[in-house]
Amino acid sequence: MNYAVLKGAAYALIHAPDMVIHNGATQTVERQVNPDSEYLKKIKGHLRSYQDAVNYAPNQTYIGNIHPAELKKLAKDGSFLGVDVKGVRDGRLGDIMPEDEFIFMMKICDAFDLVILEDGFSKSAKEVYVKRELKYKSDEDVQKEVSRVKDGGLLADIQKFVNEEHAEGLYFNEKLVGCVKRAHDIDVNLNSHVMFENLVAKASGVVAFKELIRKNNIDAASIDLVIECSEEACGDMNQRGGGNFAKSIAEMAGAINATGFDIRGFCAAPAHTLVTAASLVKAGTYKNVVMVAGGASAKLGMNGKSHVTKNLPILEDVLGAFAALISENDGVSPILRTDLVGRHTVSAGSAPQAVMNALIVEPLNKASLKVTDVDRYSVEMQNPDVTKPAGAGDVPEANYKMIAAIGVKEGHIERADLMKFVEEHGMVGWAPTQGHIPSGAPYFGFAIEDFKSGKINRAMVVGKGSLFLGRMTNLFDGISIVLEKNSGEISSGASGASKEEINKLIAIAMRDFSQKILSE
């Protein structure tokens, strides 16, 4: 069977402390219900500098500079706070972008002139952006990209839009530097706050997509499908969430031959998308599919109150984004076993044991595999520095303990070896708590390397989602898929015969035809 492969992955973090204050849902709600709260007074004193964010070990892991196995060794008393890491912006798998550059990227991604930047800020940010982009593209291509950005506006006019026209302010270093205007006078789905969130998702997705192309030396024109799987959903009053982030991101990333659509499934969306992309490639419908997810500005500072109360820095000060390439079997990259997919069905129930049985045991049983036959599980890889102070505990560790418990129940491991299983098959969390971002995807880049280097032979990506958040059902959601080391053999299957096989068949047909002619 000719499976699709996970061929490349890339990541982006955007340090956005001003967006924490002005755009994160927790802070936005706090200003509405308790504008004089102590939390709002203290929040600025708990924000990290850009360099502090770059030096933070989990962030360096997210962009590929520290392997998860090495990250685990760096923890001090179960935390990465205070760990001395001299980080760099550029990672093997991604980039940590400062806030001013990202605001300029939002303007580049603005197709309807909704973003107004103060003229001085715009010119300064443009210079920085051009200088960086020239490392990767020709001057002609860079100038074509930034030509979308016209002259900036006056600060007084921007202030008027914010004060009188309900525009969403854009801030850098606590100063107003621009705004996002509403796209419609009365449509709440197109108000300035929603348009801000949409542009953040689009722009951060573009950053990750561009990193995927750069880090993996991909010809953007070879991509024929893009699937976007973040938690945002764009639309208007007639079709809320109608989309399409995917095609808008493909356009900005230069994927001129791609079509696209969005998949939504709360935190489980990336895993659903991985299975969907692999299935489409295996079927021969598409050859090169990119899955991409932008960040969620609403999640910035989501647990900020808990962090400030415990005198910690607000660690949810970065937007997360990722992109991955799923392609036809190349004989090298890890294969995606679309015949070994775990599904949390409607009838599965929401008990932890039922969820893990559906997502872990059932797909492994199809191949007569034990839980110990999977070398690495990529689950909800949230950074415990963020979740533990908020009372949510160590999410990845909790997942691994449940998998181990299932293994004990199935007779795959001894009860005494439960924590040994967690140690050998699990990983410490390093992803920002952006909902969909931690859900299996942070390990993609490392998984490709680990498979190719022979460190692992089998992995499982597990995504889970809370469907009840949409107030339409009380159900949970989940899906998983097994990845395996590539054997190097490319067989014919649903995706069609190889070129060599086709040429061989043509040669046989021509020989038979010639013999028939001669015999006559």
Per-residue pLDDT of the chain (520 residues; tens, 9 = 90+): 699 999 999 999 999 999 999 999 999 999 999 999 999 999 999 999 999 999 999 999 999 999 999 999 999 988 999 998 999 999 999 999 999 999 999 999 999 999 999 999 999 999 999 999 998 888 998 998 898 898 899 999 999 999 999 999 999 999 999 999 999 999 999 999 999 999 999 999 999 999 999 999 999 999 999 999 999 999 999 999 988 999 999 999 999 999 999 999 999 999 999 999 999 999 999 999 999 999 999 999 999 999 999 999 999 999 999 999 999 999 999 999 999 999 999 999 888 888 999 999 999 999 999 999 999 999 999 999 999 999 999 999 999 999 999 999 999 999 999 999 999 999 999 999 998 999 999 999 999 999 999 999 999 999 999 999 999 999 989 999 999 999 998 865 444 555 555 566 566 666 665 665 555 5
Count how many domains the chain has. 2
In degrees, to the nearest 5, what angle opens at C-alpha 440 toward C-alphas 487 and 401?
100
Q: Is residue 326 part of a domain?
A: no
pTM of the model: 0.93
Per the structure block, which two tokens stand in for 500?
Answer: 């060599």
Q: Which residue has the tokens 């089998």?
A: 458
Asked which of 155, 182, 209 is the last residue of a domain, the reply is 182
Please provide the DSSP assignment of 303-342 as one string.
THHHHHHTT------EEEEEEEEEES--SSSPEEEEEEEE
Maximum Cα–Cα distance for the chain, whole Å?
99
3-class state of residue 115 by DSSP: strand
Q: Which of 149, 182, 215 is the endpoint of a domain? A: 182
> Do residues 208 and 294 make contact, with C-beta atoms less than 8 angstroms apart?
yes
| Structure tokens given for 138 | 């020709």
> Is 474 inside any structural domain?
yes
Question: Can you give the pLDDT at residue 243?
Answer: 82
Specify if 443 maps to a domain: yes
Return d(Cα 122, Cα 149) in angstroms, integer.
8
Is 131 inside a domain boundary? yes
* CATH number of the domain within which 343 lies: 3.40.47
End residue of a domain, out of 182, 204, 220: 182
Residue pair 357/478 in contact by the 8 Å Cβ criterion? no
Domain that holds residue 155: 115-182
Would you list the DSSP string of 206-243? HHHHHHHHHHHT--GGG--EEEE--S-----TTSTT--
| pLDDT confidence of residue 513 | 58
With respect to residue 430, please indicate whether it lies within any of the assigned structural domains. yes
Q: Is residue 190 part of a domain?
A: no
Least Cα distance to 338 among 482, 495, 226, 456 occurs for 482
Bridge-partner residues for 362, per DSSP?
Answer: none
Residue 12: inside a domain: no
Q: In this structure, is residue 53 part of a structural domain?
A: no
